[in-house]
Amino acid sequence: MKFHPARNADDESAEQHVTDRGEKWTPRLWCSFLSMVAALELLSCSYVMISIALPDISSHFSTNQGVWVLTSFLLIGTVASPLLGKLADTHGKRRILVLSVALSAVGSLVAALAPAFGVLVFGWALAGLLSPCLFLVYSLIRDVYPERSVAMAVSISTTGMGLVTIPAPVLGGMLIEAFGFRGIFWFCAVVLVVLAALIRVTTDESPVRLTSRIDLLGAVLLGSGLAGILIAVSLGPEWGWSSASTIGCAILGAGLTVAWLVSARLVRDPIIDLRVLAERTVAFTTLSSGLCWALVATFSVLTPMMVMTPDDLGLEYGLGAGSVGYAVVQVPVGLSMLLGGYAVGSLVRRRTTSRTMMVTGMLLASAGCLLMGVLHTGLAPVALFATLISFGCGIGYAATPNLLIESVPARLQATAGGIASTSGNIFPAILPVLVFAVLNDSHIAKVVDGTTYYSDTGITTAFVICGAVGLAGVLLALALPRRTTEKTEDPASPQGITPVTP
């Protein structure tokens, strides 16, 4: 089984252009680099800030479905990433990058002005087009930056992802206190408009063009299928599990998902190549890393909700911290995730296998979730266990690209990476919806001024579910090959691959 990118008549001249690039960092290049890194930082920052704003959003619109703000963002990122990646190959990476940032700005504006919860969800879903910028930036740097600077530029842009999660809670809290939750959406809209203009003016267009097929049908089927199933699960407690609406959404979603599986086997270039996913290492790496990110997404929603719950409601777990006070918990959480990534880079270079690191990371994250479920009545234990979860997830996140590099044949690494990236959006979109479906079904303690508060048993149950997901990730990681035999079997595989440190 071999995969070869289609080439056109312009490929040779494009490659020659790449080799003829300058070797100096000019002021224009620095501006380009900083603007693209800022876009990636905003991608990370926005998720943290919206998680903090969810209690206010849910209270304002009197809904217990606030998790859909984040889920819609991730679902759009899931289906848009492979489509925009292929459009970028065909029409130019800068053009698609600027378009993605601009449309994300429009989505942020819609969310900022939203008169109803559904409109806000739609707007922030459109803002999810910021997700494909992650790989578009890396690819554009590779194509147009000075050749000697590519490695450094990619490394800095990668390690920068996450640094912003340290001050993000403080910034988010300040925006919420000054302007309400809409202040976060206005902030994103303004910053994105500025970044789109800067990237357009300061960044050269990639000369590389590849001809590829766009699986639009597959994207629609996959996105709609998942959305249908998640709507049924999310609204089942409100509609009734046996109601026609719940059953109809579940059947429609399942049918569309099956239709996507069929189309993926028939289409030449499917949105997710099931033949590659069938490879043992790709499958277990994708699943374990997807569960890792699902833990990050779910605990990122649960923790601020728990910490910011008023302490006078008699719910045992409420700490009464404001949006700014939550930074006391989030700052060490963001820092520990970065440290987890650097730990992988250091230990893998000392011959510790990425498989071992993935197992270790998921074990730590699972232990943190289970401990959080049992002990969450004080700021100190909550901050400690949240830091443990984040550190474990940081290790798991950093182990993923190293697993792919070590174990997957070179000819499959790009496709496998795309599949792993897609799972990094799908699983985080699914798990929070499932957890809140359980909470809304039988663990609502009280509703005060439109805000839903859950029982202490519900909080425990939610973190136990997360702990179980972490243990599932451990088992999947243990199923990975102990030795990376796949790489040595492929004569095209490069030698002396350097481990990746996010």
**Ordered alpha helix ranges (H), 267-326:** 274-277, 280-308
Q: Summarize pLDDT for 254-275 with one digit per residue, the tens.
A: 999 999 999 988 888 787 778 8
Ramachandran angles phi, psi of 211, nearest 5°: -90, 125
Q: Report the pLDDT value the prediction gives residue 256, as an integer from 0 to 100.
A: 93
Q: Report the pLDDT value the prediction gives residue 67, as an integer from 0 to 100.
A: 84
CA distance 311 to 321: 9
CA distance 317 to 377: 5
Query: Is the dihedral angle over the CA atoms 421, 427, 428, 430 positive or is it negative?
Result: positive
| Structural domain spans, the chain | 11-214, 215-268, 273-502
Q: Summarize pLDDT for 8-44 with one digit per residue, the tens.
A: 444 444 444 444 455 677 888 888 888 888 888 888 7
Residue 40 structure tokens: 């990636």
Q: Report the pLDDT value the prediction gives residue 367, as an integer from 0 to 100.
A: 95
Residues with Cβ within 8 Å of 451's Cβ and at least 6 positions away in sequence, in order, are 55, 58, 59
- 434 near 233, Cβ under 8 Å? yes
Residue type, 154: V
CA distance 129 to 76: 7
474-477 long-range contacts (CB < 8 A, ≥24 apart) are: 474/359, 474/362, 474/363, 474/366, 476/284, 476/287, 476/288, 476/291, 477/284, 477/288, 477/355, 477/358, 477/359, 477/362
Residue type, 423: S
CA distance 487 to 406: 7
Per-residue pLDDT of the chain (502 residues), as tens digits, is 333 344 444 444 444 444 445 567 788 888 888 888 888 888 878 877 888 888 889 888 988 888 889 888 888 887 887 788 778 877 888 898 999 999 999 999 999 999 999 999 999 999 988 888 877 887 787 777 777 766 666 656 655 555 666 677 778 888 888 898 999 999 999 999 999 999 999 988 888 776 667 778 888 898 888 888 888 888 888 788 889 998 999 999 999 999 999 998 888 878 777 887 888 888 888 888 889 889 988 988 888 888 888 888 878 887 877 766 777 777 788 788 778 877 776 776 666 677 888 899 999 999 999 999 988 888 888 889 999 998 998 888 778 777 776 666 655 655 666 677 777 778 888 898 899 889 988 888 888 877 788 899 999 999 999 999 999 999 998 988 775 444 444 433 333 333 343 3
What would you report as the CA-atom Rg of the chain, rounded to the nearest whole angstrom? 22
The total of other beta-carbon atoms located within 10 Å of residue 310's CB is: 14
- 250 near 229, Cβ under 8 Å? yes
What is the CA 338 to chain-centroid distance, rounded? 15
**Ordered alpha helix ranges (H), 352-378:** 354-374
CATH topology for the 11-214 domain: Growth Hormone; Chain: A; (1.20.1250)
Among left, alpha and beta (phi > 0; psi -120 to 50; other), residue 449 is left
Q: Which of 70, 52, 60 is nearest to 117 (CA)?
A: 60
Q: Which CATH superfamily is domain 273-502 in?
A: MFS general substrate transporter like domains (1.20.1250.20)
- Separate counts of helices (H) and strands (E) for the chain: 19, 2
Q: Are strands 451-454 and 444-448 parallel, antiparallel or unpaired?
A: antiparallel
Ramachandran angles phi, psi of 70, nearest 5°: -80, -40
- 129 near 223, Cβ under 8 Å? no
Question: Hey, do 11-214 and 273-502 end up sharing a CATH topology, with the first three levels equal?
Answer: yes
Which DSSP string do the residues of 219-276 spell out, in sequence order? HHHHHHHHHHHHHHHHHHHHH-TTSHHHHHHHHHHHHHHHHHHHHHHHSSS-SS-HHH
Q: Report the pLDDT value the prediction gives residue 417, as an integer from 0 to 100.
A: 67
Residues with Cβ within 8 Å of 380's Cβ and at least 6 positions away in sequence, in order, are none
Q: Report the pLDDT value the prediction gives residue 43, as an integer from 0 to 100.
A: 83
CA distance 100 to 84: 8
